Structure formats: structure tokens, C-alpha cells
Amino acid sequence: MSSKALDYENLNENVKKCQYAVRGELYLRASELQKEGKKIIFTNVGNPHALGQKPLTFPRQVIALCQAPFLLDDPNVGLIFPADAIARAKQFLGMTSGGLGAYSDSRGIPGVRKEVAEFIERRDGYPSDPELIFLTDGASKGVMQILNSIIRGPSDGILVPVPQYPLYSASIQLLGGSLVPYYLEETANWGLDINDLRQSVAQARYKGITVRAMVIINPGNPTGQCLSVANLKQIIQFCHQENLVLLGDEVYQQNIYQDERPFISARKVLLDMGLPLSKEVQLVSFHTVSKGYWGECGQRGGYFEMTNIPPKAVEEIYKVASISLSPNVPGQIFMGLMVNPPKPGDISYDQYVRESKGILESLRRRAHMMTDGAMYSFPQIRLPPRAIETANKLGKAADVFYCLRLLEATGISTVPGSGFGQKEGVFHLRTTILPAEEDMPAIMESFKKFNDEFMEKYEDHKGYSRM
């Protein structure tokens, strides 16, 4: 027995159980190496500003003015801030009572929620109700709030795609629920087979698990694909039949680097399907200022929108949000700016478009440089049996072993596929396309060189081994 009140042995078991590979063993080792002076290229998490992406000017001007409202009375303010940024800052300050230093309503500033609702209406062609939009400290916090409302214990299951961004597995473990995996099919462009879904639910039920919700990540993370309308319709019908809340993680909706298949929101598809589904299928959709080409990760701005969630349940979600008082207010302003950016004719419009295009085109070139995927790519690595054996001897998963070697050799910090989930015996790694464009060729060259040497070292050459 432990002698301390707060010791590893007597921590909440769910805390101990949960795994979060994006900042797991690889990240910790990379941080150590960085402290020792090694140059590390962090591609483990989408954090573009950390890799040199410059922030867009207009939103930063507006937020700077909101933070320093006394500047609005300074006769020199026009020398360093454009008039539309000044007007926008005044507009936001008018929406708050007390500016950025005051707690807002726990759901967020009503005026910003209205801007989000208008954005959704423009995007989907259906009106959206600001009262059903809650602003959050980034999308992750919103996902956790909703999962916390749903999960009552280990017999509540959540359908989660594999591979998946490990926020879902980690949150479900932390909240003491059961993750019910469904596999995306690598050979079918990471598509989703509705029959596999049915099988996953049947298997869970057999184990006594009630499946309560289904997560879709669209566009996919780490796979980067957009779901087709046909596929979304099947998913919505499936949720209707099985009485599941659909959780639509749509944080990558801006990041489409291929033209064949555009992003379409789950909400639009649902409402297009008409009655009775449009009034019956429950949907919560998530968005953020961190992803997209804005990449304002550190500001922690996000929202979720609820469709067909009964008012009494919405009230309870509001009550829980109120315990943390309010999401950070500057992050709320960023969300307002993202959904309502400068318009043609505004002083800052041209600069905003030029900067946005610059980032998006560079991301697109980098994406094509890497794979044809979206923000993240998830290449398969075919590991030779001797590499797998060596990893096993070291007590490590084979892909963890590969990624650690890659890190030590090149400084490139990736995430092993096992952190995202993959089929037995198949290995991947996840990297982002976010290093500065000019660094990409050298990084890819050093990656390729490492991979060639690794494979040569561990591949069985007929009658010859270099080990």
C-alpha cells in the first residue's frame, strides 16, 4: 500500500489508463533531445506557428486593439492600425460587458455566437440558432464536455474510427466509457464501410455495451480524406436506426488540398435529407481556430453546435459549462473573426486574401510533396520481420521503435501509428505537413535516407546480414 495520499498507486484508474500518443513517449524523448541541444522538427501535432507560419495580420490587429482598448482613444492609433481593424475591435468590445477581462456567459459572447450561426447558415443554406452554439477553449474541450454528458460508465460505448486522433480514445478512457472501434479501409482511400459499422455495434452489444454515439472525423485525421455525401447519408441513417448521437469533428473543414471531393458538413447532409431524419437525428458538430490555415492553436478558440438535442439536455450541458465560468474571451473573438473575416471592399481585404492564399497554397504544395492527403499524412511503413523482432526484444511496438530511431537519427518527431490505431501487423506513422516549405525538401531527404538505411539494416538479404 502506498504511504502518500496522492501517489501513482492510488490515482484515479481512468487517469492511469488513458493514453495520449500525440504527446507520448516520442514527444517526451524529443523534448529531452531538444534540451540536450539537438535540433528537433516537431511534426507530432499540428502546430503551424511553432514551425514558422506567420499569423494573419487582420485578426491579430483586432485582438491587439481589444486587449488595449485605451488605444482606441489615442490620436496616433491610425498610424499603426487600419480603420477597419479599429472598427471591428469597437464592435467586439460593444458585444461584451467589460471587454476581454470579464467572464462572458458560459456559452460564450452572444454576439459571437450569432456570427457563428450566420457562418453556418451561409455554409449550409439552413438557419442556425445561436442558443445551440457553445463557444469553447478549443474543440478538444467541447468534445470532452459532450462525451462527459453522454458517458455514464463502462457499459456506454462510443463508436470511434480507427485510425483516429487520440483525443477520442484518451477522453473516453478518462471518462470511464468504452471505445467501440470501427475501421477505416486503407485500400479504399480510408473510406467507411457501413457493414463494418454494423458489425462493430453488434460485437459491442454482445459484450453488454450500449453504443450511445458515433464519432466521425471529417475531413479525416490522420487520414485527410473527406467523406462523400453518399457515405454521410448512410452514416446518418445508421445513427437513426441505432439511436446514436452523431459527433461530427469537422475541425479540418478549411484544409482541403484536393479538388475532387469538397467538404460538406454533416449538418447540411442531415437537413437535406428532410423529415423525419432532419428532426430526429441528433448531431453535435465541432470546429476550432486551431486547425484550418489560421493555425491559431495557442489561442484556444472553438465551438460546438447542437442539432436536435432536447432543451433539458442543453440546459444541463450549460450548467456544467458554467462551473468553469467561461471560455477564454480572446479565443472567442478569434472565432468571431474566423467565421466573419474581412469582406471585399474592406481596407484589409486584399491583405487578408493575399496572406490566406499564401498559406493555403504553400500547405497545398507541401501536402502534394508528402502525399495527396490533407493536413496530416499517415503513411504505412512496411517493417521487415527482423525490425519487428528487435523492437519486441526491446519491449516496444515496432512502429514506436521505428519512430524513435527516426527521431534519434534525424530530429524528426512523428507519432507512431499505434497511437492512432491500426490493424494488427500493419504499421504507420503520422507526420504533419507543417514544417516551413523551404525546409521540406531537406526534411524529406533526411527521412528517405534514414528509411533506406533502416530497411537495409533490418532486411533479410539472402545469406547475408549486416547486423
Minimal CA–CA distance to 312: which of 187, 431, 149, 97? Answer: 149
Which one of 141-149, 381-389, 412-420, 458-466 is the stretch in contact with a copy of itself (CB under 8 A)? Answer: 141-149
Minimal CA–CA distance to 27: which of 393, 404, 348? Answer: 404
CA distance 114 to 119: 9
| 150 contributes a contact to a copy of itself by CB under 8 A | yes
| 330 contributes a contact to a copy of itself by CB under 8 A | yes
Interaction pattern, residues 158-197, with a copy of itself; x per rule: CB under 8 A: ---------x--xx--x-----------------------
| 363 contributes a contact to a copy of itself by CB under 8 A | no
CA dihedral 313, 315, 317, 320 (to 10 degrees): -140
Based on CB atoms, which residue is closest to a copy of itself, 333 or 383? 333
Minimal CA–CA distance to 223: which of 367, 74, 369? Answer: 367
Secondary structure of residue 379 in the 3-state scheme: coil
Footprint of a copy of itself on 196-225 (CB under 8 A): 212-213
Footprint of a copy of itself on 310-329 (CB under 8 A): 310, 312-313, 316-317, 319-320, 322-329
Q: Is the distance from CB of 217 to CB of 161 less than 8 angstroms?
A: yes
Rule CB under 8 A: choose which of 133, 160, 264, 297 binds a copy of itself: 297
Rule CB under 8 A: choose which of 104, 265, 356, 413 binds a copy of itself: 104
| 465 contributes a contact to a copy of itself by CB under 8 A | no
Based on CB atoms, which residue is closest to a copy of itself, 220 or 327? 327
Rule CB under 8 A: choose which of 29, 33, 67, 446 binds a copy of itself: 67
Total site size for a copy of itself, rule CB under 8 A? 100
Minimal CA–CA distance to 133: which of 154, 148, 114? Answer: 114
| 36 contributes a contact to a copy of itself by CB under 8 A | no
Rule CB under 8 A: choose which of 33, 99, 369, 440 binds a copy of itself: 99
Minimal CA–CA distance to 409: which of 370, 459, 446, 438? Answer: 446
Based on CB atoms, which residue is closest to a copy of itself, 38 or 152? 152
* DSSP string covering 171-240: HHHHTT-EEEEEEEEGGGTTEE-HHHHHHHHHHHHHTTPEEEEEEEESS-TTT-PPPPHHHHHHHHHHHH
Rule CB under 8 A: choose which of 29, 33, 55, 263 binds a copy of itself: 55
CA distance 255 to 263: 9
| 123 contributes a contact to a copy of itself by CB under 8 A | no
Q: Shortest gap between Cβ of 151 and a copy of itself (angstroms)? A: 6
Based on CB atoms, which residue is closest to a copy of itself, 280 or 460? 280
Footprint of a copy of itself on 408-447 (CB under 8 A): none
Chain centre to alpha carbon of residue 338: 16
Q: Shortest gap between Cβ of 140 and a copy of itself (angstroms)? A: 5
Which one of 140-148, 254-262, 350-358, 385-393 is the stretch in contact with a copy of itself (CB under 8 A)? Answer: 140-148
Task: Tell me the Cα Rg of the chain.
Answer: 23
| 464 contributes a contact to a copy of itself by CB under 8 A | no
Lookup: cell for 390? 528487435
Return the H-helix or E-strand segment holding 455: helix 440-458
User: How many other C-beta atoms are found inside a 10 Å radius of the C-beta of residue 346?
Assistant: 18
Rule CB under 8 A: choose which of 12, 189, 241, 392 binds a copy of itself: 12
Secondary structure of residue 286 in the 3-state scheme: strand
| 379 contributes a contact to a copy of itself by CB under 8 A | no
| 149 contributes a contact to a copy of itself by CB under 8 A | yes
Q: Is the distance from CB of 16 to CB of 397 less than 8 angstroms?
A: no
| 87 contributes a contact to a copy of itself by CB under 8 A | no
Q: Shortest gap between Cβ of 233 and a copy of itself (angstroms)? A: 19
Give the bridge partners for 182, in sequence order: 161
